[in-house]
Amino acid sequence: MGSLDIESIATEDQSEESKKVAQMRALVEAQDPSAKEADDKALRRFLRARDHDIDKASAMFLKYLKWRRSAIPNGYISDEEVKNELSQDKLYMQGFDKTGRPLLVLYGGRHYYSKREMNEFKRYVIYCLEKICARMPEGHEKFICISDLKGWGYSNCDIRAYLAGLDILQNYYPERLGKVVLINVPSIFMKAWKIVYPFIDKHTREKIVFVDDEDFKTVLLNDIDESQLPDVYGGKLQLVSIAD
């Protein structure tokens, strides 16, 4: 198959997807007028998350609109609403990968079940996702995350919080995650992973990569230029807290 044939197929796929987005828009706007405020990119993310099934994607999007009015009534989450979570310095945001996706760095060993209040934790997940989505460069919709589990142990294990965060990411921010690279993974973490894994949908599973300790810098540099990689991993950028 030649390059022209491939381009023709891609154009046809885009045209078909655009038609489905238009059909989806008609459905959701008829049931919730606030859907008119959403752009086609947002509808397309929900459509792709449901494998281009218009009815399923529409139901998912309508659920999202209802959820957002309840979860983010002011349109944003303030620092004050998540001050306990922010004080733990678990999440950093700076730099971009080689394709232009913004970069998050998450330290799983800094989350403690004993310090977590579930409603605040859910607000914190939303706070972080809203921050990273607001930082998307033109032409990009996804982010990349380095999840560093160095020092992770039983005191960090919090299955309820993991599932709550996963639910928010998958159901209300679909097609926002581009890739997660897990590094410094202790063997004990795999017990928690086996519990969480069945709740991860197929689209998310495809974006999760476990990296051996001796290979993680090489793997990170495949995706992230040294000038954009945090200095703690051999790059040149200092870590910046997501609150900053």
Q: For 104-115, how does the pLDDT look when each residue is reduced to its tens digit (9 = 90+)?
A: 999 999 999 999
- Higher local confidence (pLDDT), 205 or 10: 205
For residue 2, is pLDDT > 90? no
Q: How confident is the model at residue 186 (pLDDT cuts 50, 70, 90)?
A: very high
pLDDT score at 27:
97
Query: pLDDT value at position 10?
Result: 53
Confidence of residue 12 (pLDDT cuts 50, 70, 90): low
The reported pLDDT for the residue numbered 6 is 45
% of the chain with per-residue pLDDT over 90: 89
Given a cut of 70, whether residue 161 has pLDDT beyond it is yes
What pLDDT is recorded for position 95? 93
What average pLDDT does this structure show over 219-230? 94
Q: pLDDT of 15-24, one tens digit each?
A: 899 999 999 9
- The one-letter amino acid code at 173 reads Y
CA distance 240 to 183: 19
- C-alpha distances in angstroms, 30 versus 34, 159, 170? 10, 38, 25
Maximum Cα–Cα distance for the chain, whole Å? 59
Average pLDDT in the 85-93 region?
Answer: 95
Q: What is the pLDDT of residue 9?
A: 47
pLDDT the model gives residue 3: 52
Enclosing H/E stretch for 196: helix 189-196
d(CA 239, CA 210): 22
Cα–Cα separations (whole angstroms), residue 211 to 54, 162, 215: 36, 20, 7
Name the nearest CA neighbour of 146 among 197, 79, 95. 95
Percentage of residues in the chain with pLDDT exceeding 70? Answer: 95
Instruction: Please provide residue 106's backbone torsions phi and psi, each rounded to the nearest 5 degrees.
Output: -115, 130
Q: How confident is the model at residue 215 (pLDDT cuts 50, 70, 90)?
A: confident
pTM: 0.92
